Amino acid sequence: KAGVTQTPRYLIKTRGQQVTLSCSPISGHRSVSWYQQTPGQGLQFLFEYFSETQRNKGNFPGRFSGRQFSNSRSEMNVSTLELGDSALYLCASSLGLVLSTDTQYFGPGTRLTVL
């Protein structure tokens, strides 16, 4: 099976712009979770989508949003970018039956740099 793919791998934006990141889960997986990884804060949970619905949400401002399509592909959008949004954004997919015990499979991430 193909793994989790994320596009693009690298992205450079300027403050105030918006950005959309894409994640394609492993075939058959219905849950997609997003994480932000920074040197200072480590890995932080953004949100999780299951069957096109946001099922869980972390403590991030409303500038961070996402959606999931019927084929389980997911997109994450960040509006009004700030310097602090520079990070590695990781996507993880799982079967989605019970997120807390599922094995999550991570993609390679999208490296976002905000100038």
Q: Which of 48, 68, 76, 85 binds other proteins (CB under 8 A)?
A: 48
- Judging by DSSP bridges, how do beta strands 110-114 and 10-13 pair with one another? parallel
DSSP state of 76: E
Q: Distance between CA atoms of 29 and 25, rounded to whole angstroms? A: 6
Residues that bind other proteins (rule: CB under 8 A) add up to a total of 24
Does position 106 interact with other proteins (CB under 8 A)? The reply is yes
Q: Report in angstroms how near the CB of residue 39 gets to other proteins at its nearest.
A: 9
Tokens standing for residue 70: 């019927």
Angle at 93 between CA 8 and CA 81, to 5 degrees: 40
Interface residue with other proteins, options 8, 12, 108, 115 (CB under 8 A): 108
Binding-site ranges for other proteins (CB under 8 A): 4, 33, 35, 42-45, 48, 55-56, 58, 90, 92, 98-101, 103-109
